């Protein structure tokens, strides 16, 4: 008997875009990998980092949707609204044009942004509205369902407007605890918090299905909003990663700790702690180095890191090179800061890199507060060595244990890989994701 073909609904992504430069874009790209290209489109204001591998049909949300009060339009970057069909040639041309414009725009934008935020007008100035052009394009594409991550109030209200006026069902995917952080400060903060509460609850209630980035986030959000959330984390393509996965845990010379990713809110202080611990351990006789892979052009590297002798900064590599580079390390690092600001943002999150680190077979050192979703997941499944206090002595002891104990490195590496294959293999996760989207679209 002939089996029915899998149903792939026509999906429009609103807000985010397909790229490999941050967690949201990477997760989305991996989840939609293999989706028919004629059944996938994205409406975004992030065209400058969009990629054509997964999705080729884009609508740039430009000045016809991003309509600002008159005085602020004088400082607004000109961005043409309309469809863009991406291929390799058009992508290079598009990004080249954008890069030439960016410096002047950033200078003006940063100054105006500070003034707007101080007054408390950020959410009044930055709004998206359905334009006639976007509505016509959307109706022509005729999506079965919308997928959105909605990481700011601008997008929350925009998706609500699309649903109110066009009645297109949508699936919401919560990547971080943005609800606690998306309101920009200023004297009008209490007002905007009330607006967010109303709009966000509406967004959640009307969503056909709600996804979260971790089991911990699903549990907390279910308690907070009284609605169900399905955990859906970044899947890993085992075929791409396993061929480089570690099979020999003999230490490198020098012994190498590696961190790959952004440096900023939620990670900076803990990463500096690790770097300073490495300096002290070298002075105590260990042959050890810290390597950090990051996009040096996109992030401000803390001066404290630059000044350290045994911390090496490397410009970020392409995503397809990541499996090979990560697997060469002796230890991979997952730091989360211990301060309250970091906790508000990242407490219930699961960094995109977690599953990618696990499948490398490299032992993982987690340096993060105990009550985070990441620490809980690592402890329950025993895939990392954990330091759950901001304590330099304990951190150094953990590094020494990994430095001296090959059997410990092997057991942690093998355990992480087995959990990644069991729970995060793209063959399983992407099929569950496709089924969730398909059920929501019917």
Let me know whether 369 and 434 are in one domain: no
Let me know whether 72 and 164 are in one domain: yes
In whole angstroms, what is the distance from residue 319 CA to residue 327 CA? 14
Model confidence pLDDT, tens digit, residues 15-47: 999 988 888 899 999 999 999 999 999 999 888
Let me know whether 104 and 247 are in one domain: no
Model confidence pLDDT, tens digit, residues 223-261: 999 999 999 999 999 999 999 999 999 999 999 999 998
123: tokens are 């959410």
Residue 4 maps to a domain? no
Compute the residue count for the chain: 442
CB 225 within 8 A of CB 201: yes
In whole angstroms, what is the distance from residue 53 CA to residue 33 CA? 9
Give the pLDDT confidence score for residue 98 in this predicted structure.
Answer: 52
Let me know whether 120 and 202 are in one domain: yes
Let me know whether 231 and 278 are in one domain: no
- Residue of 383, 254, 246 lying closest to 323 (CA atoms): 246
- Residue of 7, 430, 442, 66 lying closest to 237 (CA atoms): 430
CB 207 within 8 A of CB 145: no
Let me know whether 95 and 188 are in one domain: yes
In whole angstroms, what is the distance from residue 264 CA to residue 176 CA? 15
In whole angstroms, what is the distance from residue 111 CA to residue 123 CA? 17
441: tokens are 């679209």
Residue 155 has pLDDT above 70, yes or no: yes
What average pLDDT does the segment 281-307 reach? 87
Cβ-proximal residues to 348 (8 Å cutoff; 6+ apart), any chain = 177, 212, 214, 216, 217, 220, 221, 372, 373
Residue 308 maps to a domain? yes
Let me know whether 152 and 28 are in one domain: yes
Cβ-proximal residues to 5 (8 Å cutoff; 6+ apart), any chain = none
In whole angstroms, what is the distance from residue 10 CA to residue 91 CA? 23
Give the pLDDT confidence score for residue 3 in this predicted structure.
Answer: 42
Q: Give the chain's domain count.
A: 2
Model confidence pLDDT, tens digit, residues 411-428: 999 999 999 999 999 999
In whole angstroms, what is the distance from residue 242 CA to residue 259 CA? 20
Give the pLDDT confidence score for residue 236 in this predicted structure.
Answer: 96
In whole angstroms, what is the distance from residue 412 CA to residue 385 CA? 8
Give the pLDDT confidence score for residue 92 in this predicted structure.
Answer: 56
Look up the domain containing 181 and give its range: 11-235+426-441
User: Which residue's structure tokens are 């803990």?
Assistant: 270
200: tokens are 């966000």
Residue 3 maps to a domain? no
In whole angstroms, what is the distance from residue 98 CA to residue 83 CA? 16
The per-residue pLDDT of the chain, averaged, comes to 91
What's the distance, CA 35 to chain centroid?
Answer: 20
The whole model's pTM is what? 0.90
Let me know whether 150 and 164 are in one domain: yes
A 10 A CB-CB count for 91 gives 17
Residue 95 has pLDDT above 90, yes or no: no
Give the pLDDT confidence score for residue 23 in this predicted structure.
Answer: 87
Give the pLDDT confidence score for residue 89 in this predicted structure.
Answer: 58
Let me know whether 258 and 329 are in one domain: yes
Residue 134 maps to a domain? yes
A 10 A CB-CB count for 356 gives 25
| Residue-by-residue DSSP string for 319-382 | GGGHHHHHHT-SEEEEE---SHHHHHHHTT---THHHHHHHTT--EEEES-TTSHHHHHHHHHT
Q: How confident is the model at residue 2 (pLDDT cuts 50, 70, 90)?
A: very low
Residue 320 maps to a domain? yes
Cβ burial, residue 1 (10 Å; 0-12/13-18/19+): exposed
| Residue-by-residue DSSP string for 41-53 | EEEES-GGG--TT
Give the pLDDT confidence score for residue 1 in this predicted structure.
Answer: 35
Give the pLDDT confidence score for residue 93 in this predicted structure.
Answer: 53
176: tokens are 């971080």
Give the pLDDT confidence score for residue 408 in this predicted structure.
Answer: 98
Let me know whether 312 and 369 are in one domain: yes
% residues pLDDT > 70 (the chain): 94
Give the pLDDT confidence score for residue 404 in this predicted structure.
Answer: 97
In whole angstroms, what is the distance from residue 306 CA to residue 304 CA? 6
Angle at Cα 426 formed by Cα 353 and Cα 379, nearest 5°?
A: 50
Q: How confident is the model at residue 101 (pLDDT cuts 50, 70, 90)?
A: low
% residues pLDDT > 90 (the chain): 70
Let me know whether 185 and 334 are in one domain: no
Let me know whether 259 and 396 are in one domain: yes
Give the pLDDT confidence score for residue 96 in this predicted structure.
Answer: 47
CB 192 within 8 A of CB 123: yes
- Specify the 3-state DSSP secondary structure of 14: strand
A 10 A CB-CB count for 355 gives 24
In whole angstroms, what is the distance from residue 264 CA to residue 58 CA? 30
DSSP structural state of residue 254? S
Give the pLDDT confidence score for residue 4 in this predicted structure.
Answer: 53
Residue 153 maps to a domain? yes
- Specify the 3-state DSSP secondary structure of 11: strand
Region of 434 please: left (phi>0), alpha (psi -120 to 50) or beta.
alpha
Q: Return the CATH number at 384.
A: 3.40.50.2000
């Amino acid at each position: 008997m002939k089996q029915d073909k899998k149903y792939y609904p026509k999906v429009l992504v609103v807000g985010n875009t397909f790229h490999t430069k941050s967690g949201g874009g990477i997760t989305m790209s991996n989840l939609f990998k293999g989706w028919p290209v004629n059944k996938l489109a994205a409406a975004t204001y992030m065209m400058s980092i969009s990629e054509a591998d997964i999705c080729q049909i884009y609508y740039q949300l430009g000045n016809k949707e991003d309509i600002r009060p008159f005085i602020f339009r004088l400082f607004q970057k000109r961005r043409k609204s309309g469809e863009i069909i991406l291929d390799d040639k058009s992508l290079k041309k598009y990004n080249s044009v954008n890069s030439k414009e960016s410096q002047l725009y950033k200078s003006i934008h940063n100054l105006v942004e500070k003034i707007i935020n101080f007054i408390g007008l950020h959410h009044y100035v930055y709004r998206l509205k359905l334009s006639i052009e976007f509505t016509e394009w959307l109706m022509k594409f005729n999506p079965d369902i919308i997928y959105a991550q909605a990481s700011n109030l601008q997008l929350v209200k925009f998706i609500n407007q699309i649903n109110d006026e066009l009645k297109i069902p949508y699936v919401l995917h919560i990547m971080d605890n943005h609800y606690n952080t998306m309101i920009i400060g200023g004297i009008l903060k209490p007002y905007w918090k009330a607006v967010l509460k109303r709009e966000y609850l509406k967004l959640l209630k009307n969503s056909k299905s709600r996804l979260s980035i971790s089991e911990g986030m699903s549990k907390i959000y279910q308690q907070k909003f009284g609605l169900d959330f399905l955990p859906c984390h970044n899947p890993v393509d085992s075929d791409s990663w396993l061929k480089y996965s570690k099979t020999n845990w003999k230490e490198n010379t020098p012994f190498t700790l590696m961190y790959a990713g952004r440096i900023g809110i939620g990670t900076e202080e803990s990463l500096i702690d690790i770097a300073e611990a490495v300096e002290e351990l070298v002075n105590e006789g260990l042959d050890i180095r810290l390597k950090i892979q990051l996009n040096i052009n996109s992030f401000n590297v803390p001066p404290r890191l630059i000044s350290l002798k045994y911390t090496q900064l490397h410009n970020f590599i392409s995503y397809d090179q990541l499996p090979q580079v990560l697997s060469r390390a002796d230890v991979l690092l997952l730091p989360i800061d211990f301060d309250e600001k970091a906790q508000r943002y990242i407490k219930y999150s699961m960094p995109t890199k977690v599953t990618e680190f696990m499948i490398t077979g490299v032992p993982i050192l987690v340096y993060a507060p105990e009550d985070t979703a990441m620490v809980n997941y690592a402890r329950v499944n025993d895939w990392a060595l954990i330091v759950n206090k901001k304590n330099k002595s304990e951190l150094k002891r953990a590094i020494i244990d990994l430095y001296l104990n090959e059997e410990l490195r092997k057991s942690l590496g093998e355990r992480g890989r087995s959990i990644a294959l069991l729970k995060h293999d793209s063959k399983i996760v992407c099929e569950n994701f496709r089924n969730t989207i398909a059920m929501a679209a019917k």
